[in-house]
Amino acid sequence: MKKISKRQYILGFGVSVLLLSLVRCFAPDVAKPPIQTKDNIDSLSSDSVAYALSDSLSNIPDDVKNKESLADSIHSSVFYNSDGSLAQHRIFSVPHFGNTFPDQNDVQLIAAQKWGVKPIADRQDAMNKKSGLVYVGSNPYFYIDKLHSSIPYLVPRASVLLQDIGKAYYDSLMIKGIPLHKIIVTSVLRSKADVAKLRTHNGNATQNSCHMYGTTFDLCYNRYVTVEAPGEKRRRVTNDTLKWVLSEVLRDMRENKRCFIKYEVNQGCFHITVN
């Protein structure tokens, strides 16, 4: 390796300083770090905002990273108040269950025939023709009740909707300061034989049921499964309170055109078909 003399080193350093000075004179903005303002942060995606905040905070001394500055940075969060404390939202429910969830069978049937499978004859036929259907079992977000007139299968689109409702319900309970509870699924896919048998003792059951297409499920609104560790002591919550929160979640899903919903008075459930 060729050895550089002290005079050559000093000369090279001087040239570098001169070039940087010229750049600073003719293009001063090049030497300035980018400034993240509230306006341009709002125009970025959530990932970009998170990166920008973490990058800028890494250059701030620890004693400056106080709760107020962080709260200003995450002012749009629904989980925290402006002072950094956990937010607790009020329970509003919906004005009227019947008016908020009015979708009758004829409306839901159009969506069921669009997104669903062909109706199956009986349980054995269902076992042989599970193409296009996915199994739905009890999981962290919902509980499948003991099924008497249906089997736990849905089309993938409806299965995703059910998962999203369960997750959104958890979020709503947490943000309102309510102990976690699972929603209960009381009915899923029905065969033609199931519908015929059900119609002998259930006046609400229709011959051309949406449940036959794998697009429809019922959520109980007067029973819920408590989520708690063994021996855990916590306050009890009434079923009415849990129903009010669930109605808010379902209203949002319906308004976002994710599904059609009928409020069933006699059956004690929300009758839901994916859209």
Strands 181-187 vs 142-144: parallel, antiparallel or unpaired: parallel
Amino acid occupying residue 262: K
At residue 23, the 3 state secondary structure works out as helix
Distance CA 120, CA 242 (A): 35
At residue 119, the 3 state secondary structure works out as coil
Per-residue confidence of the chain (275 residues) as pLDDT tens digits? 555 555 555 555 555 655 656 656 566 555 554 444 444 434 444 444 344 444 444 555 554 445 455 545 545 555 566 666 666 677 777 889 999 999 999 999 999 999 999 998 888 887 777 788 999 998 999 999 999 889 999 999 999 999 999 999 999 999 998 999 999 999 999 999 999 888 887 666 677 899 999 999 999 999 999 998 888 877 789 999 999 999 999 999 999 999 999 999 988 999 999 99
- Angle at the Cα of 112 from the Cα atoms of 118 and 222, rounded to 5 degrees: 120
Sort 274 into a burial class: Cβ within 10 Å, 0-12 / 13-18 / 19+. buried
pLDDT of residue 26: 61
Instruction: Give me the CATH code for the 97-274 domain, please.
Output: 3.30.1380
pTM, rounded to two decimals: 0.68
Distance CA 169, CA 241 (A): 12
Q: Taking Cα atoms as reference points, which of 55, 160, 158, 71 lies closest to residue 112?
A: 158
pLDDT of residue 45: 43
The residues spanned by each domain of the chain are 6-73, 97-274
pLDDT of residue 207: 78
